[in-house]
Structures are given as structure tokens and as C-alpha cells.
Structure 1
């Protein structure tokens, strides 16, 4: 399995698309197809159905109903056939987060792609506690597709709190999207009790962060040349959404390593707001030590 956490420059070889077969699932499907084509990667399309018997006893003379699993497989085959792309199809039943985690590990997936679902089962993946569970267990990036694809990602924001996890997210973004422009975005709250003399200005903080970037041997000259750094004062979950919308970003990247303040602010307390309403898609980069 390609380990995206080593930033070796390799592109994903196996992509897992998790879909709930809802009316909006075509957005994630289109993005997965485009990425698989660009990277020449194997594409696996998976859906999770409610647990239940495959065969149901019916009175003689009545047609046996199609099981949820067979119906889901047929629908997924139809969606893929319309796209003209070959993909492996997997249908599982049970807890969505557990099943998807199991598939990702078993199949050696390097990237998991999901859409903003609306079904009672997989829809809860992005609208409730299941999202946090999946994010916390995956050691490979999770791409949440919100918008209809309009081409490759070209304008990417990487959220940073100066933590190792944020730096991992930056390096992973550079490896996955070598032709994209990257904006490293840092938002910091000013403590209400802080004295003016103790406050670090945005300009000073930006200077310190630039020095950190230059000193990092993993930051190549090519990466530095396509990297911008923005520092603003305020709540990160509000500012990063506003910045992404104002600057027409098509992807925002967040590191989940350690589940620190940045991760909790964006994924934890405001999960529903960000995953449903954030401008552009969201890539959550996990860590190899999960």
C-alpha cells in the first residue's frame, strides 16, 4: 500500500469511493473517476446497506423481493456503467464506519472518497458521530466531496496551527497535487486577558512561520515557490470558511494527527457546519500511527 504519510511523491494506487447511492452521489463518483484516471489508480466503489437476510420467505405464488444488497449492487453497477469506467464493486452491511475502515485496510486503499450523503445509513457518515469515528481510524486521507467537479484541484487551502499534523497535511497536499497552488492558512484567537505588550502581531507571526518553513528540509524550493502564507486573527472555523469562499478555493486540507485544537475546531465542534456548508471540498489527512 502506498503510504501517503511518507510524502515520497507517489500518487495513490488504490482509491475507495464510499457512496450512499443518493441523488448527490454523482459528485463524489465523478471526482473519484477523474482522480483514478489521472493517477491510473484502481477504483473500488463501495456502499453499505442495512443488515438483513439475503433471502426472505414469501408465500407460494409471490415473487421473491430483491434483497437490499442486490439492489444496491445493481444500482452501483448502473451508475458506473453510465460513466464508462471500470471499477470493483463492494456491497457490505453493518456499521458504515467500521465496514469502510475494514475495506480500506483489506484492499490497501491510499485514499477514501465520500460525498455528503442523505440516506439514513451512509448519510449519517457525514452528519453525525460516524464521521468522527471514521476520521479517527483512517490512516489514509479522506476526501469529502461537496461540489460538482470542474477539473483538477488547482487552488488549495491548507489549514495550519503550526503543529506536526498540519505540516504533514501540507506535505501530503504537495505530493497529491503537484501542480496546485497552495495557501497555508493560520488563524489564531487573541486571549481576552492578554496584555497588548504580550500580543504577537499577524506580521510577526507570519515572519516566524516563514522562517519555520524555510528551515524545514522537507520543503523543497519548488514547493516553496507555489506556497502562500496567510495569517489572520479570529476563530479558525469561521475565518477559514470565509477565506475559502472569498478566494474560490476548490479544496481545503486539514491534518487530523493528534486531534489537536485545529482538528477539533474544524472537525469536532463544528462538524455539521463545515462538512455540509464549507465552500469547496475537504481533505482530511490522517497519520500513520493510528
Structure 2
């Protein structure tokens, strides 16, 4: 992605598997859709190889068969969101989840994909899962992976950077999606032979790098003046 949109998204795609781990992504997607006045599309992909019992049943509704994936999804959304669910468009398709979700996002002209993580282990390791990895690697639009509960709008945002072109695009995209927020540009660096330096020299080296590299990175003409003014540099 070389030229991020310079305006908030008009369409948001929520990629969900209807499990509890996607509830936080649902709450965040609803919050962002309201903030940006964007259309919210909830997409659920049925993988025929993994969930044959939920494959589409084209026969008329009957008490003798399970509800269709579309019916189940609409029921879940209405249960969790109440009347807010009426403003969410539901799409359910069959196919490989990652590829199908990317196809839906492209077809619908979505500007942002929101999803959750596969699981969060006890020791804090974040497992994205195959589908989310496929979305992150293959999506031409930003992908927001929601980890925490949506207690309010984003106010302070940390943007990790290695001072590469990809990192610059991440900063530009973040500033475009969330204008006016407090941004912290974060770079982690392992100082060579740090064990031979005293605390004062160690800190001085980091602060020098922070000032020089940060100023050079933010001096790119594509970085808005307001972003330069609001960005705080942090190096560890």
C-alpha cells in the first residue's frame, strides 16, 4: 500500500467467526462505524472442509433443520447489539476464509478490515491464526486486529517503526484514520556493547539516536505538519 487514503473509511468489513473471541472486534467495529459514519459489513465465511454441518441449505425453512449461517449470524448480532444490529449488513459465503474475506473486501470496496485474534495465551503471547495472517499479508487496505475491549474511542496511539518505507506508510495511515490523536513513534534498538556503557552513556546514545533518526523520519514531505507537531518519539 503506497498511498493510504487521507480520509476515514466509508466502509468497514468486520471479519468474524461468531465466536466469543470476535466480540471485542465487533464492539470496536461498531464504535468506529459510528465515529466515522461508515457503513459496517459483517462477514462470516463457512469453510466447507472444517464445518460441513453448517453448509448452506437451500431448502425452505423447517423445524427439522438447523438455522442457516445467515440466520444464525443475524440472530447473534441482534442479541449482542440490539437495535444497532439493524444497521449492519450481513454477508455469509463459503470458501477458504482468508481468500474469501479478501475477495469480499475488494468487491464491496471496504477501506478497513476489523477482526480479532485467534487466542491470547496465559503468558501473553498473541496468536493471530491462519486467517488473520492471510488478511494482514494479503490485504491492500489496513487491517485492525482488536485485542482489548472497546471502552471508548482511541485517544493515544503507539506506532512502531524501524524507519523504513513500510513504517512510514503505517504512520501516514494511522494519522489519516485518527487525526488529532496523540501519536507516539516507537523504535526498539539493541545498543551494541551496552554492557560496557554506564547508565549515563547508554541513555545519551539512545536520546541522540531518537532525536536524529526521528527528525529525519518525520521530515519526509508526506508527513503532515500536524503529525510532526503531535508525534512523540520513544526509543527503547
Number of equivalenced pairs: 216
Match of 1:178 in 2: 179
Shift of 1:19: 1.3
Shift of 1:201: 2.1
- Secondary structure at 2:188's aligned position in 1? strand
C-alpha distance in 2 between matches for 1:91 and 1:38: 25
Question: Which runs of structure 2 are paired with 1:47-62 in the superposition (5 Å)?
Answer: 47-51=44-48, 52=52, 53-55=55-57
Match of 2:212 in 1: 208
Question: Which runs of structure 2 are paired with 1:125-164 in the superposition (5 Å)?
Answer: 127-164=128-165
- Secondary structure at 1:188's aligned position in 2? coil
1:43 aligns with 2:45: no
Relative to 1, partners in 2 of residues 1:107 and 1:137: Cα closer, same or farther, differing over 3 Å? same
User: TM-score, with normalisation over the residues of structure 2?
Assistant: 0.79
Shift of 1:82: 1.1
Relative to 1, partners in 2 of residues 1:131 and 1:175: Cα closer, same or farther, differing over 3 Å? same
C-alpha distance in 1 between matches for 2:217 and 2:91: 42
Deviations, residues 223-279 of structure 1 (Å, cap 9, x unaligned): 1121100111xxxxxxxxxxxxxxxxxxxxxxxxxxxxxxxxxxxxxxxxxxxxxxx
Match of 2:124 in 1: none
Task: List alignment gaps of at least 5 residues for structure 1.
Answer: 119-125, 233-290
The question of whether the paired residues in 1 share the 8 Å contact of 2:160 and 2:186 is answered with yes
Task: List alignment gaps of at least 5 residues for structure 2.
Answer: 120-126
Shift of 1:10: 1.2
C-alpha distance in 1 between matches for 2:70 and 2:140: 30
Shift of 1:191: 5.0
The question of whether the paired residues in 1 share the 8 Å contact of 2:115 and 2:132 is answered with no
Relative to 1, partners in 2 of residues 1:20 and 1:218: Cα closer, same or farther, differing over 3 Å? same
Shift of 1:70: 4.0
Give the alignment's Cα RMSD to 1 decimal.
2.9
Shift of 1:92: 1.5
C-alpha distance in 2 between matches for 1:63 and 1:181: 54
Match of 1:169 in 2: 170
Relative to 1, partners in 2 of residues 1:55 and 1:6: Cα closer, same or farther, differing over 3 Å? closer
Shift of 1:79: 4.1
Match of 1:19 in 2: 16
